[in-house]
Amino acid sequence: MFQEERLVKILDYLNQHKTMSVGEICSFFQVSRDTARRDIVRLVQEGVVTRTHGGVALPDLQKELTSYQERLIDEPTGKNVIGEHAAKLIRDHETVFLDVSTTVQFVAEHIQAKQITAVTHSIDNVGILSKREDLSIYVLGGYLHTQNRLLYGPSVIEKISEIRADKAFIGATAIQTDGLYYPYEEDVRVKWEMAQRSDQVILVADHTKFTVKSRFKLDFDHVDIIVTDQSIPVDIQEILDQKNITLIECQTHNPQDGVEQS
């Protein structure tokens, strides 16, 4: 069993039992204590668990472990508008990467282009696009992460490296002045590989991503367009201007005053 698969199972166990000892890891996965300790170190380094005497526990605050379904309902209006605007960038017959992201999922829902090929490792994107008979879906295979509803592992990276796409639609956990941030190292590797294999990279992110932090960075140099739902911080806007990154601020309708707002 790959370490990544064990880590997912450890997190699933923690979500049910809150704590897990070194001995339980050894028994559960039939691994040595050294292997169990390496798994613990990896999880602690990524900030998703806290170390306890003899094992690990979930931190009191687990924003980045929030389930995919719960993240989907955060800022639903903004994400829907972003998805609608971003989907218009797709042209007939193009090949597009669709990242695992609740905002990218809204892009998938709004695609109108015909005869495209969609490449994704998101279970939800596959479900949405499978209703269309006028496009092709290429699923990047790997291990199933049930909580985040995605396929992961070395085979996902390998397959991406074999594909050339017109566009890549990616999400982000956090956006700071020096780049995009994600909770897991593999997230960055997947986004990086998609960017290298695409003619154009479109980041879709609602306004809340500009006010939070995460751990692993992807440079702005890999992004061509950012689609968001509100005005962004001035310091980040200046960086985007310097790097010639196009910013699309979608207009959303405010039902309270009946006017369009940026």
Contacts (Cβ under 8 Å, ≥6 apart) of 163: 95, 97, 119, 138, 197
- Indicate the Cα dihedral angle 195, 119, 157, 46, nearest 10°: 80
pLDDT(215) > 50: yes
- Per-residue pLDDT tens over the stretch 72-86: 455 567 899 999 999
Question: Residue written as tokens 């687990």?
Answer: 62
Rounded CA Rg of the chain: 19
Protein fold of 3-62: Arc Repressor Mutant, subunit A (1.10.10)
Output the six-digit token pair for 65.
């472990």
Return d(Cα 148, Cα 139) in angstroms, integer: 16
For the chain, domain boundaries: 3-62, 69-254
- Per-residue pLDDT tens over the stretch 85-107: 999 999 999 999 999 988 999 99
**61-90 as b/e: b if 16+ CB within 10 A:** eeebbeebeebbeebeebbbbbbbbbbebb
Is 174 within 8 Å of 213 (Cβ atoms)? yes
pTM of the model: 0.70
Strand, helix or coil for residue 135: coil
- Per-residue pLDDT tens over the stretch 25-69: 999 999 999 899 888 888 887 767 888 878 888 765 344 444 555
Q: 69-254 architecture in CATH?
A: 3-Layer(aba) Sandwich (3.40)
Q: Which of 249, 244, 245 is nearest to 260 (CA)?
A: 249
pLDDT at 8: 86
Return d(Cα 159, Cα 167) in angstroms, integer: 16
Output the six-digit token pair for 81.
């508008």
Overall average pLDDT of the 210-232 stretch: 92
Is 182 within 8 Å of 215 (Cβ atoms)? yes
- Per-residue pLDDT tens over the stretch 109-144: 999 999 999 999 999 999 999 988 899 999 998 888
| Fold: same for 3-62 and 69-254 | no
Q: Which of 234, 228, 160, 164 is nearest to 193 (CA)?
A: 160
Return d(Cα 119, Cα 167) in angstroms, integer: 10
Instruction: Round the average pLDDT of the chain to a whole number and report it.
Output: 86
- Per-residue pLDDT tens over the stretch 170-207: 999 999 999 999 988 888 999 999 999 999 999 999 98
